[in-house]
A and B are shown apart, each in its own frame.
Chain A
Amino acid sequence: MAIKRKTLTRHGREGFKNIRRNGWMSFASMSAVAIMLFVVGAFAFLIVNTNHLIDTIENDVEIRAFFEHDVDASEQESVLEEVESHDSVENVVYRDRDEGLDVFMESMGSDGEVFENLREENPLNDALIIQATDPQMTAAVAEEVNAQSAIESVEYGESILGQLFTVTNYVRILGGALVIGLIFTSVFLISNTIKLTILSRKDEIQIMKLVGATNSFVRFPFFIEGALIGLIGAIIPIAGLTVGYSYLYSFMYDQVPFFTFVEPNPMIWQISGLLLLVSILVGIFGSQMSVRKFLKV
């Protein structure tokens, strides 16, 4: 059934009026939405940045496979080719023991120079530096390479990587559960607050029904009311989170050189849009749940 435009105007007006008439209750509902959005939004930023952190670290994950000392160049070459052709290998670089020493000395900073006298009797091994296509494959690739008889040993950030994956998985699951839980809580809170205001409007709904109003006619102003509560309730948290994040981003950018947060633009707009949508839906859902019971006339 199509609703006439003028009827829609009426419902809109009624929805606004209801919000004004039930000032404090509307305010309570909006606050519930606002608090929910703050937490959901903060979690959204946390998750986005954890993912970003993982990406950053994952890109650095490399396997160092060391050759046995007695393996000759041609044998090293064939191992290199074999590893290169492996499906899960993104990139392989050969690094001989000289370069290895350079890298090692560099990593020691100015103290590294004392190792220069090792160059004649270099104890290091020639090595392959391997990157897997998917960081989750790192362990498997490392194991296969290690099985080669020409390879003495492999090294990769085995334990850190494993722990990082576990932690981030927990963050994702926990964040997701918390977000869903909060959304349900605020739907419940809103529906209860609106229900309190409806209790006083119970007689009105009864009259509406008795003079021939359909359920959707009675529901519509509540629909608008819920959407408005969601909309207005979203303003402060979205503004707060946007400003807060931008500030945090530039702070991190200035103070912590080795890790930057995800750039605010456009991520912040996407999350704001999402929060706004969630907020409006929560408002609508809450208001529709609350009115349901009173339509039985």
Chain B
Amino acid sequence: MITMKRVRKTYPNGVQALNGMNIHIDKGEFVYVVGPSGAGKTTFIKLMIRELKPSEGLIQINGNNLGDLSDKQIPYLRRKIGVVFQDFKLFTKLSVYENIAFALEVIEEDPEQIKTKVMDVLEIVGLKSKARFNTSELSGGEKQRIAIARAIVNQPAILIADEPTGNLDPETAWSIMGTLEEINNRGTTIVMATHNSHIVNTLKKRVIAIENGKVVRDEVGGSYGYQA
């Protein structure tokens, strides 16, 4: 489902964020990506949704070689991947409801369906009561949950979450993990970058550790930590 071979990414300023990444993730897997700050986790995610192009190497998603995708095809790639961005990327001028509805408007979902689906995911992340709030009126943790709600609302085949529990209290964090687990059980592939050692060590999954832009450890049921 997700394959990277010898992927390098050098930013225009010369920083080598990825340095020969090799990864293979199958359909339906739940994978933690761990590593110190600056290891290249977010860069790895940006490459998967073609927010960035690799400097070198091969990336395949769902059997599609990203290098072969035309600009016109990219939106359709992105619709199959739900992303919880590390910086949320919410529309600050829009309401909670509008933010999530947007992901459905883009794929031209039936307006009647939009309402039901948005309210459903808001229920899941526990923010139904704040549907009409402006996004700027939310706390960090609430924003994070909206970002999660938007990422899952059109039931993508792959869900990528960049630090989805970073701003959450333990209780909410665990409730979000429960949601991700549930989504995963329905067949969605999940890739989650995280610094939360407690979660990684408790809810055991495959752990891919990255350091200096390289995979240094890849272990099913592994624990948190990135020393090889």
Contacts and interface: CB of A to CB of B under 8 A. Distances in A.
Decide whether A and B assemble into one complex. yes
Interface in A51-75: none
B72 interface: yes
A215 B106 CA distance: 11
A214 B51 contact: no
Contact of A211 (B93, B103, B110): B103
State the main secondary structure of chain A at its contact with B: helix
B133 interface: no
Nearest to A10: B105
Contacts of B71: 215
Contacts of B75: 209, 212-215, 217
A199 B196 CA distance: 36
Contact of B102 (A3, A211, A297): A211
A210 B106 contact: no
Contact of A212 (B76, B85, B93): B76
Interface residues of A, number: 20
Contacts of A206: 89
A207 B49 CA distance: 12
A6 interface: yes
Interface string B167-188: 0000000000000000000000
A214 to B, nearest CB: 5
Most chain B Cβ neighbours within 10 Å, of A208, A211, A215: A211
A48 B55 CA distance: 61
Contacts of B51: 210, 297
B108 A7 contact: yes
A213 B106 contact: yes
Interface in B31-81: 49, 51, 71-72, 75-76, 78-79
A211 B150 contact: yes
Interface residues of B, number: 23
B96 to A, nearest CB: 15
B83 interface: yes
Interface in A141-183: none
B93 to A, nearest CB: 8
Contact of A210 (B49, B107, B108): B49
Given A210-B49, A211-B78, A204 B106 contact: no
Nearest to A201: B93
Interface string A197-239: 0000001101111111111010000000000000000000000
A170 B108 CA distance: 54
B83 A7 contact: no
A212 B105 CA distance: 10
Interface in B91-118: 91, 93, 102-103, 105-108, 110-111
Interface string A236-276: 00000000000000000000000000000000000000000
A212 B89 contact: no
Contacts of A215: 71-72, 75
Contacts of B106: 208, 211-214, 217
A61 B108 CA distance: 67
A4 interface: yes
A6 B113 CA distance: 13
Contacts of B111: 6
Nearest to B103: A211
6 contacts: A3-B108, A7-B105, A203-B89, A210-B51, A215-B72, A217-B106
Given A10-B105, A214-B72, A214-B106, 6 more contacts: A6-B111, A209-B78, A211-B78, A211-B103, A212-B107, A215-B75
Interface of A: 3-4, 6-7, 10, 21, 203-204, 206-215, 217, 297
